[in-house]
Amino acid sequence: MILTINGNPLDVELLGDDPDAPLLIAHHGAPGLGSKSEPRMAFGPLSDLFRVLVFDARGSGKSGDTGPFTHEQWVADVDALREWAGAETFVMAGGSYGGFIAMEYAIAHPERLRALVLRDTSADHEHNDLAIANARSSDRVDIDEDMLMRMMEGRIRDNQDFKDSWRELLPLYGFTFDPAVVEERVNSTDYHYATHNAAFSQNLNHYDVKPMLPSVSCPALVTVGRTDWITPVSCSERIAELIPDSQLAIFEESGHSPPSDEPELFQQTVRDFLKTHALY
């Protein structure tokens, strides 16, 4: 369904048949590239326990492109979705860049969260340097240096350039490399290059929530794939060290997406955590 949230149309899907079940809102990563399909895959199976709300964020997927594309605006959109769903408290989940927004929400609205689930994310922008080094050293891609830096610095020229760049970088993401899967993802993606540029050229330059993470008061599950190239394991270890009530789960046969690389283990890990910490 399309909802107008804070003056912008968002493509929203609410999964689960029990109107009295607690709410889980999941935020996708890759602003300008991501969509609700990623959190639906990762958290949709929990719809037997929760009402699971997934959506295309402002400036991504099938949602509208009304700015600003800032962390503050994306956090405000999450809170408006919570209010629309009629929940006083909920579980916040976020993967990759969506993890940035999940942590920012936990800092801004601690009273609203039952629990926090993070997937392959970082507490500051320093992971960018690690990611660039990992891309340069990978034997999966013959990296185009200009393309890599335009992606990582938010200087993409247009949507065709965005698509071409995404095709080059996608082989880095999975634990295994399947060219057919890469091409399918490239062709099924909606491209919003201006959103990506705002996120990587403006937002990330100022992003650092490490000083605030010790104030996060809800239980947190921090998950990461062992071979994640863009937000490596050290980033998740740092988050788990800083959030007081947290546990870290490293998926040994996963890249940037344990929900797709090790789906059964990921589902069981998240389900066990939420049954213990969020169903009350």
CA angle 249, 255, 258 (to 5 degrees): 50
What integer is the mean pLDDT of 145-161?
96
Written as six digits, the tokens of 210 are 């490490």
d(CA 14, CA 132): 36
Rounded to a whole number of angstroms, the CA Rg of the chain reads 17
Whether the per-residue pLDDT at 46 is higher than 80: the answer is yes
d(CA 155, CA 145): 13
pLDDT of residue 15: 98
**Which domains occur in the chain, in start order?**
2-126+208-277 (3.40.50.1820), 128-201 (no CATH)
- For position 141, what pLDDT does the model report? 87
Alpha-carbon torsion angle 70, 73, 78, 84, nearest 10:
-150
**Confidence check: pLDDT of 280 > 90:** no
Q: CB under 8 Å to 207, separation ≥6 — which residues? A: 71, 100, 124, 125
Q: Is the pLDDT of residue 167 over 80?
A: yes
| pLDDT tens by residue, 216-266 | 999 999 999 999 999 999 999 999 999 999 999 999 999 999 999 999 999
What is the mean predicted confidence (pLDDT) over 98-125?
Answer: 98
Average pLDDT value for residue range 76-99? 98
